[in-house]
């Protein structure tokens, strides 16, 4: 497995990967339509060097991105998705370890994670601590578990 910076010409494919990964949990079409904007990889994040991909045997297996917050000491785990064909093979763990190391390298003290409930156990295994429920970035009226890791 190799982690590398995302490329601008991969934005559509990476956004589709995020959608496939989210849909894996059985969300219906209406939910997925509301989630599409939040699942879209940002060109500005790619150009800023804030998006990375995991490759397995030359195929893109997952994506992770970081996003600045108003709190100078914290960074958000903006996206962390694994292609369903590569789930349960360690791709998520490697991407998460990379994101943690990159956040530390950039001088952040905390990593915040607004987690899908299906992914919450993964983040807990990785050492994230539940803070509270917070509003969804995609679905009006929905709340999601908010986690934090001290780096």
CA atoms of 82 and 31, how far apart (whole Å) = 19
The sign one gets for the Cα dihedral 142, 78, 76, 46 is negative
CATH number of residue 136's parent domain: 3.40.630.30
Indicate the pLDDT class of residue 72, thresholds 50, 70 and 90.
confident
Maximum pairwise Cα distance, the chain: 41
pLDDT per residue over 107-129, tens digit each?
999 999 999 999 999 999 999 99
CA atoms of 122 and 118, how far apart (whole Å) = 8
3-state DSSP helix/strand/coil % of the chain, to nearest 5? 35, 30, 30
Q: What is the pTM of this model?
A: 0.94
Structure tokens at 94: 């490697």
Host domain of residue 78:
2-150
């Amino acid at each position: 497995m190799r982690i590398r910076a995302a490329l601008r010409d991969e934005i559509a494919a990476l956004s589709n990967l995020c959608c496939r990964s989210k849909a894996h949990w059985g969300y219906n079409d209406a939910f997925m339509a509301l989630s599409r904007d939040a699942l879209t990889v940002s060109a500005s994040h790619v150009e800023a060097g804030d998006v990375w991909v995991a490759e397995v045997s030359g195929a893109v297996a997952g994506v992770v991105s970081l996003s600045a917050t108003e709190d100078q000491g914290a960074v958000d785990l903006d996206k962390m998705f694994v292609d369903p064909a590569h789930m349960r093979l360690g791709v998520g763990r490697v991407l998460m370890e990379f994101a943690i190391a990159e956040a530390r390298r950039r001088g952040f003290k905390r990593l915040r994670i607004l987690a899908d409930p299906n992914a919450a156990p993964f983040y807990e295994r990785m050492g994230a601590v539940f803070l509270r429920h917070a509003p969804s970035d995609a679905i009006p009226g929905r709340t999601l578990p908010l986690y934090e890791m001290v780096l």
